[in-house]
Structure 1
């Protein structure tokens, strides 16, 4: 069956690296223990010792393999070195070039490299670099979205590009349930990567208000209102909260630098001020005006009806996909 055996994991289900620290050890371990691939999120600054602590804490919660996501747009060399030294199963990278030297170095450490791409051209480059898998992110995805193509058009092109090479192609963007899983399989994917659905879990480190909004609200918008100064040219898909709807036409010359502080947050052990229009989503430690902060979500958010344990999310994805294939497609 298409949902088994991807890169040595029981199910072809990946929990995306949710920033800034929403996917902590508890969520990653829960996904791993349920048979999926959980991904920690590395800090957006060099903090190799802290990252090693995160990895080691995760290992106290699971004996299954897991991975670490690193955003290449931020300082990352020491963090990647820490991932390789700890011999984590998977190094997931995004928002930057993936040189062949990095892939070779990771392979020498026994670590698989799985980049996330948002275009066909980017996919060609990482295939040439010799990566072990590719996450194809569609325009429907939540958070920072690098590409402009919908998953339904981009994914099959990347599948055809890979051909018979042993590089699993993983679909990402707007997938929430077993129907989305089967749709991804029909387009040629061997697995799926979910972000928003795993934010809305019991083990997620997201703020309770953020989780509640993922259940209550159903509309998203692609925007660049948040985090313009810290991460320019990195548009994002966010929930249409009342705050966002009030400020969605923020003039292009405005950014978070000259805005008031609306809260505080401890991110990867570091105290941070949260300014209005900052691109930082509220985690469990965040205080202040939570409802005026960024809340990232993919287009499938309207299908999220409750906060679930992460293991239950994995279980429902697998069983839903199995049932749909058996009931709808076995006779075709």
Structure 2
């Protein structure tokens, strides 16, 4: 049954490494304690000692295994070294090439490697270097989106590509409830990875206004308006807030570099100025014009109606998926 575990975890549910610091120890530990795979988000700058502190704090909150997500578009070698030294269960990689050397190094430390891909070509490269699982991200996903294909078409292609190999395929993009979970299983996935649904939890390190907007709004848009200078060529899906709707036609030559400062935030212990159109989503330390800041969200956001404990999210997903599958298997099917 597909709601059962992947990669040694009790359930086939993965909490995405929400950034820059939204997936902190409290959220990851809550997800792990519920039997799913929680992923910390590594800083986007080399901070190995601080990252080790995050890992150790998470371990103080759970005796279950968890992982760390790393964006390869930013400096990361020392961070990955720290992750392997700490021997977390899973190294999740995104937005860059996962090399065979890195996979071998991780495996020698007892760490499983799980890249997130947005195309069939990326998936093939991941299989060839010997990864342990693959997260397939559809264009419906919130945050930064590397591919252009919808999950419903890309996912079964990757499943077919994997074939009989022992590489679980995990679906990501627009999934927010048990129905999406079961749909992903029907397409051949062994599990799901969710971001937006876990931002909207009690333990996530998102600003309360950001969480509230995830309940209030139900439309998103794929754009490149935010963070053009810091992370060029990295389109993303965001909530259609009034601010975004007013500015979504921002000329291509504009970026956050020449914009006014609209707030301040402490991110991974570093004080940051937030300029208009920055790609930094607000956390609880953020001050200023919160409603004019980026709020990443996937297309499933309209299905999120309340802020729940992360463990309750996992519980509802598992029980809902079990019930749906039982109902379908017990009924006659007419075509």
Normalising by structure 2, report the TM-score. 0.99
* CA positional deviation for 1:284: 1.1
**Cα deviations across residues 13-58 of structure 1 (Å, max 9, x unaligned)?**
0000000000000000000000000000000000000000000000
Equivalents in 2 of 1:285, 1:329: separation in Å? Answer: 48
Equivalents in 1 of 2:270, 2:177: separation in Å? Answer: 35
Equivalents in 2 of 1:122, 1:54: separation in Å? Answer: 30
Equivalents in 2 of 1:5, 1:47: separation in Å? Answer: 32
* CA positional deviation for 1:166: 0.4
* Partner residue, 2:188: 188
Equivalents in 1 of 2:276, 2:184: separation in Å? Answer: 37
* CA positional deviation for 1:91: 0.1
Q: Map 1:46-57; keep pairs closer than 5 Å.
A: 46-57=46-57
* Partner residue, 2:140: 140
* Partner residue, 1:285: 285
Equivalents in 1 of 2:5, 2:302: separation in Å? Answer: 30
* CA positional deviation for 1:328: 2.2
Structure 1 stretches of 4+ with a deviation exceeding 2 A read 328-332
* Partner residue, 1:257: 257
Note if 1:81 corresponds to 2:62.
Answer: no
Equivalents in 1 of 2:243, 2:234: separation in Å? Answer: 20
* CA positional deviation for 1:331: 3.5
Equivalents in 1 of 2:89, 2:35: separation in Å? Answer: 14
* Partner residue, 1:276: 276
Note if 1:228 corresponds to 2:231.
Answer: no
Q: Which runs of 5+ in 2 are unaligned?
A: none
Equivalents in 2 of 1:202, 1:88: separation in Å? Answer: 24
* Partner residue, 2:175: 175
**Residues paired across the two proteins, number:** 332
Equivalents in 2 of 1:196, 1:9: separation in Å? Answer: 21
RMSD: 0.5
Note if 1:329 corresponds to 2:329.
Answer: yes
**Cα deviations across residues 88-137 of structure 1 (Å, max 9, x unaligned)?**
00000000000000000000000000000000000000100100000000
Matched position secondary structure for 1:35: coil
* CA positional deviation for 1:327: 1.1
* Partner residue, 1:162: 162
* Partner residue, 2:152: 152
Matched position secondary structure for 2:7: helix
Equivalents in 2 of 1:89, 1:213: separation in Å? Answer: 33
**Cα deviations across residues 131-159 of structure 1 (Å, max 9, x unaligned)?**
00000000000000000000000000000
**Cα deviations across residues 292-321 of structure 1 (Å, max 9, x unaligned)?**
000000000000000000000000000110
Matched position secondary structure for 1:6: coil
Q: Map 1:110-125; keep pairs closer than 5 Å.
A: 110-125=110-125
Equivalents in 2 of 1:119, 1:185: separation in Å? Answer: 19
* Partner residue, 1:26: 26
Matched position secondary structure for 1:20: coil
* CA positional deviation for 1:254: 0.2
